[in-house]
Amino acid sequence: MIGRLICHLLEDLIRNISGPAGIRLRRFYYKRRLGGAGWGLVIDTGVSFESPKNIFVGNRVWIDKNCVFIAGKIMEDAAKITRVSTGTVVSEGIIRLGSFSHIGIGTVIQGHGGVQAGDYFTSSAGCRIYSFSNDYRESHSGTMATGSSVPAYIMGAVYFGKNVWIGLGVSVISAEIGDNTFVLPHAVVYHALDSNGVAGGNPATRTKNRFSE
């Protein structure tokens, strides 16, 4: 308990130190706090990690300003959880980012259901990646626990193949996106997208190939 309090205090102190000194301090600290981190890690100002031991990043990963990472398993005794299958098996509660990835400003990654991204992953600013969310179909008493009911949730992993790029403000909810896919700005992805495509809209649908075959 005291150890966790000290860690929270240290993270609050180093979170908003700007410039090269701040980057070096956060790299030194989080290389020891994350579950795993490769060389060349850059964590910009304002980044927040929940359950950092369940977060793994590869080499030369840049986590841009004000990103939020939420990892860790959910205690199921106080919630009703419906699981959905999204294809590739991803470990619940774990966030994994491949090497040479850039997480854009203000991106939120909700990893209770598991989030995994291959090498060369890019999220633009303001993206939202959710593997766990409230189930509106079962929320008869709102989204908070009451004396007679518990919150209802949907859990389903998010998986990105290699060289996936999601554009400005894209939302991905419990879906699998194949290699070499580009998702157009402000699209909403909640169904699988095949490899080597350009997709957009709500729900996001493939419109053309990204690269020539």
Q: Which CATH class is domain 2-209?
A: mainly beta
What local confidence, expressed as pLDDT, does residue 145 receive? 84
What is the reported pTM? 0.94
C-alpha span between 32 and 49 (Å, rounded): 13
Which pLDDT does position 195 carry in this prediction?
97
Over the range 71-91, which residues count as b (16 or more CB within 10 Å of their CB) and which as e?
bbeeeeeeeebeeeebeeebb
* Sites in the chain below the pLDDT cut of 70: none
- Return d(Cα 66, Cα 16) in angstroms, integer: 10
What pLDDT, on the 0 to 100 scale, is given for residue 164?
98
pLDDT of residue 146: 84
